[in-house]
Structure 1
Amino acid sequence: MINRVASITTILVSAFCFTGQAQEADTSTINTPLTFKEAVKIALDNNVALKQQQNNLRASSIAKTSGLLQMGPSVSIEGNVGRNDGNSFNQQEGRVVNGVLDFTNVTLRTSMPLFRGFNQLNSYKASRELFDAQIETVERTKQDIIQLVTARYLQCLLDKELVKIAEQNVKTQQKQLEQINTQVEAGSRAGVDASNQMYQVKNAELSLLRAENSLRNDKAILAQTLQMDPGVNFTIEDPSWEAAKVDISSSLEELYTVALNNRSDFEGAKHTEAAFRFSYMALKGTYYPSISAFFNYGSAYNYIHGAENRTFDQQFTNDNVQKTYGVAFTIPIFRGFSTRSNVVQSRVSYENSQLDVENMENTVKSEVLLAYQNFNDAVTAYKVTQTQLEAAELSYTLGAEQYELGISNLVEYTQANQDYVQAQADYASARYTLMFQELLLDYATGTLSFEDIK
């Protein structure tokens, strides 16, 4: 009886585990639809580089605040508690006492910079410019992510369309093979046509296999770009954008102006140049004397073992109170050319940053020109491939009819079919490329944002 109960329990546990595994497997095979905007949002939420730049932004914010507060007063409290065993000077008795003395000292120190050659003011301005430059870096990093997702998603869309075209071609070739086999059996076609058509079927199946493999690989690259769990299976959603309505209404000169006013990397380069300029001016300020005001307030309590001592309140609030205040100055005379070396290095960094701004301006214009040309080429390619597809479809239809009537041979029919398949692929590539060209142009002009994605 016990053995039967154990056997039944084992079966139930095994069935439960199998059911759980089956449910887990079913969950992993669920195709989750993924739209382009959702893909961009996931990438912006998960991208490590963006998170690092945002962390750097917080650090820049603290550095800017610190630079501002350093122009104000500094306050500190110093103190010590200890014991002296031996000779010590007693302030209350005005003599040297030999014995055990417990002491407590507390001093409040304040200092206010009055003049330091505008060193701290320029240092604060440099930290402020670096903070603004980091803001622009974060914004451009977001645009870089959107641009990268656009390229990956576009490739997956094209792969998906090529799979559909290949699947349709396989069906067409198989249907044609069935018709030829029927005609061969009836004696109206030569047997070699069936063999040639069988080759075309297998060739279409191989093209489908390659297209499916390309889609799987590019989806894996997209998932890696989005930093998603590689075990999640998703399907690419076709954007409901009309390629025929995509157009550009601005001239190239207008796009140049828009880009130079909006490109975050260009703005960041200008802020960096300003930061180096203020840093250079701050180091030049170290040539001048520095003046600061100070005020110190301190007191002490001493306890001599084996002697009469005044109370803590009498000593700490009256007897040992000490106030020190005044103005301190430092005049640099000779520091082994260390100041001059730092100033020269800072000046070189500033001049190099000026060159970076000039180079970035040329880079921005070059990228805008390239995006503008690609946009116009994409419009032309879309119109050409659309006409090409219509002509290829008509040629294929006529070729199929002529082959069925026995007017043309299988070679001509096969060539017409291949031209039609290629025209479909070219049209799909041109259509999807044009659909995303507006985003790529916005990326080049620096106006690309997540909110503007349809």
Structure 2
Amino acid sequence: MNPLKKSWALALGLVAATTGAWAQEALPFEQAAKIALDQNIDLKQQQNNLLSAEADVQERFGAYTPSISAGLFGDYLLGVQFNQLTGNVVSNPAQVRGGVQANYTLFNGFGRQSLHQQAKYQLEQQKELTKRSEEIVLFNLASQYLQVLLDQELLTIAERNLGEQVDNLKVIEAQVEAGIRPISDKYDRDAQIKNLEIGVLQAQNQLANDEALLIQTLQLEPGTAVSLQRPVWSIEELVNRPVDLATLFDEAMRNRADFLAQQAGIASAVQGTRFAHSGYFPDLSVYAYAGSRYNTSVTDTADVIIPLGSQLDAFFTSSAGFSLNIPLYSQFRNQSAVQRARVIEDNQRLTLENLERTIFTEVQQATLNFETFQQSVTAAEAQLKAAEQAFEIQKERFELGNTDLLTYNQSNTLLVRSEAELISAKYRLMFQEILLEYFVGTLDVDSFR
């Protein structure tokens, strides 16, 4: 099972409380991913480009078949006209003529084959570009989802710390009344509580901003309120997960949609060069025509208009022929076309080389960061454990009046910071796993459809 889907499938859920379509409805991450994939504008444009590429392939395939057209033309002549068939003079004659013509290219320097193959490679390229766009949408959604969850965790820590310090103020007030502590400790605690209230407001504002960004990604109505459930994932599994740069880079070369798209782009450019060379070859085509006409001025000896069927039979004509075009001098147009095609092909190859280096750098950085965040979680857990032990000792001594307020505050600050750092380290590790899968090209978009 895909690691990203496995992590999210454990417990992620999104509840949107609005007056709209999602009011009071639980929306799991899988459903949120479907909404994002369905609503994203950039992805829709790529999907439209995919439809256009499919139409191009069909059009290029049609070049192997003859073109057939039918024509119908009518004339109405004002005034007196002389009928050459009967020698009579007629007034305001009308005529209708029509026919069917077919054209077929027998040979055009293999240009037809080159364009057909080029369209196929362009379709393959667009499929990979569309897939990469889907991965980008899913990556952005997962990143924003995690950020909102982290904001909620940090807000919870800030609110809990504020509540604990309010309770601690009562202890200080009692100690001041008992003469154990100076009145200045009470004032210091009041000031600290006000500062913590500001911190809570800032955390709430950060959460609201990140929720708004998530709503925008989901293309929900502006102002939609969201509430996310905490995920249940195995941090221990992520911490102990081995990563190997060489293995991941090889996997990226096989899976990265943008890399595969660029390879298809090179193949398309090669066919473009072959098509440019077709201008040096002769062009051979054949055609056939069949048609007839009807004229009101055509009459018999009794000056009666000959019936339609008789005229169509009498005036039926057909023809067939061929056209051979041999290029002798094209004013350097063929040479220029070949040169431009070669430049496009070379640029495509250079782009692929640069992309390969970029992918290696991205995978390398993601691998190193993943290992760093694995160690960060372990270190943060140890730090939190030590901070909890130190705080319990200082709290007990503070309540007995055996330590000063400054020492207690330092111990509490270290505890709160350690809690926040551990939560942040866990979410950064989860985000780094998603980032690693994104850079390797293993985000399983189909599993979220």
- In the aligned structure 1, how far is the partner of 2:308 from the partner of 2:370? 85
1:71 Cα deviation after fit: 2.0
Matches within 5 A, 1:177-192: 177-192=169-184
Q: 2:287, 2:271 → 1: CA distance?
A: 28
User: Tell me, what secondary structure is at the counterpart of 2:75?
Assistant: strand
1:46 aligns with 2:42: no
Please give the secondary structure, in 2, of the residue aligned with 1:304: coil
Tell me what 1:21 maps to: none
How far the C-alpha of 1:102 sits from its partner, in A, is 2.1
1:35 touches 1:236 (CA, 8 Å); kept in 2?
Answer: no
What residue is the counterpart of 2:310 in the other structure?
314
Report 1:54-203 matches (<5 A): 54-85=47-78, 100-203=92-195
- Work out whether 1:234 is the aligned partner of 2:226: yes
User: For residues 222 and 443 of structure 2, what CA distance do their matches in structure 1 show?
Assistant: 28
Q: Secondary structure of 2:73's partner? A: strand
Whether the 8 Å contact between 2:18 and 2:225 is mirrored in structure 1 is: no
Runs of 4+ aligned residues of structure 1 deviating over 6 Å after TM superposition are 24-31, 86-91, 95-98
Q: Deviations over 1:155-193 (max 9, x none)?
A: 111110111000110111011110010111111221111
Partner of 2:338: 343
Give the whole-Å Cα distance in 1 for the aligned partners of 2:424 and 2:89.
Answer: 98
2:64 touches 2:112 (CA, 8 Å); kept in 1? yes
- Give the counterpart letter for 2:198 in structure 1: L
For normalisation by structure 1, the TM-score amounts to 0.88
CA 1:26–1:347 in structure 2 vs 1: closer, same or farther (change >3 Å)?
closer
- The one-letter amino acid of 1:281's match is R
> SS where residue 296 of structure 2 aligns?
strand
Structure 1 residues 25 and 126: alpha-carbon distance in aligned structure 2, compared to 1, 3 A threshold: closer
Alpha-carbon shift at residue 249 of structure 1 (Å)? 4.0
**Residue 449 (structure 1) aligned with residue 441 (structure 2):** no
For 1:146 and 1:195, the matched residues in 2 are separated by 50
What is the distance in 2 between the residues matched to 1:97 and 1:352? Answer: 72
2:85·2:298 contact (CA, 8 Å) conserved in 1?
no
CA contact (8 A) 2:104 2:285 kept: yes
Is the 1:78–1:106 Cα contact (8 Å) retained in structure 2? Answer: yes
Alignment of 1:401-412 (within 5 A): 401-412=396-407
Q: 2:95 touches 2:296 (CA, 8 Å); kept in 1?
A: yes
> Hey, what's the Cα distance between the residues in 1 that align with 2:353 and 2:363?
16
In the alignment, is residue 285 of structure 1 matched against residue 278 of structure 2?
A: yes
Choose from 218, 221, 227 the match for 2:210: 218
- % identical equivalent positions: 32
- Kept after mapping to 2: 8 A contact 1:103/1:302: yes
- Residue type of the alignment partner of 2:169: L
Cα 1:25/1:361, change in 2 over 3 Å: closer
Q: Does 1:297 align with 2:293?
A: no
Q: CA deviation at 1:103?
A: 1.6
Counterpart position of 1:269: 262
- 8 A Cα contact 1:32 1:235, kept in partner: no
Q: 1:420 aligns with which of 411, 415, 420?
A: 415
1:24-52 Cα deviation digits (max 9, x unpaired): 99889966555433332221121111111
Which moves more between the two structures, 302-311 or 376-385?
302-311
Structure 2 counterpart of 1:192, one-letter code:
S
Q: Which runs of 5+ in 2 are unaligned?
A: 1-16
Please give the alpha-carbon distance, in whole angstroms, between the structure 2 residues aligned to 1:291 and 1:135: 35
Q: Give CA-to-partner distance per residue, 1:108-130, whole Å, 9 cap, x none.
A: 11111110001111011111111
Q: How many pairs align?
A: 429
- Note the alpha carbon deviations across 1:211-264, whole angstroms, 9 max, x for none: 111111111111112221123211022122121112434521111111111111
Distance 1:369 1:87 in 2: 90
> Counterpart of 2:308 in structure 1: which amino acid?
F
RMSD: 2.5
Instruction: Give the direction of change, closer, same or farther, for the CA distance of 1:87–1:337 in structure 2 (3 Å limit).
Output: farther
Structure 1 residue 203 displacement after superposition: 1.6
Q: TM-score, normalised by structure 2?
A: 0.89
* 1:258 maps onto 2:254 in alignment: no
Q: CA contact under 8 A between 1:294 and 1:325: conserved in structure 2?
A: yes
Q: Which residue identity is paired with 1:373? A: L
SS at match of 1:441: helix
